[in-house]
């Protein structure tokens, strides 16, 4: 079985309620988050602020959970 490459963790600077902070997530989650924002006609900043407003725990984890739940909800499994 071929070995899968891991997705590198990337650090991004984001603005939450007018304050700059950084978030570290794997590239695959960042790419998925961008796709979700585009599909919802939102800016990436709007989507991250939406996730931030309803999160429990740290923002990086909240983004991963949001992306996973989004695709699970929209899958046909």
User: Is position 24 within any domain?
Assistant: yes
Q: What percentage of the chain reaches a pLDDT higher than 70?
A: 91
pLDDT at 75 (0 to 100): 82
How many independent structural domains does the chain possess? 1
Mean of pLDDT over the chain: 89
Write the CA distances from 35 to 20, 26, 54, 56, 65, integer angstroms. 22, 15, 20, 23, 15
User: Is position 69 within any domain?
Assistant: yes
Q: Which residues contact 49 (CB under 8 A, 6 or more apart)?
A: 16, 17
Which pTM was predicted?
A: 0.85
Residue 4: pLDDT over 80: no
- For residue 23, give its domain range: 9-73
């Amino acid at each position: 079985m071929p070995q899968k490459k891991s997705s590198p963790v990337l650090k991004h600077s984001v603005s939450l309620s007018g304050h700059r902070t950084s978030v570290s997530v794997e590239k695959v989650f960042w790419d998925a988050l961008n796709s979700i924002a585009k599909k919802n006609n939102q800016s990436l900043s709007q989507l991250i602020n939406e996730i931030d407003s309803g999160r429990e725990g740290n923002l990086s984890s909240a983004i991963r959970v949001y992306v996973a739940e989004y695709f699970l909800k929209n899958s046909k499994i």
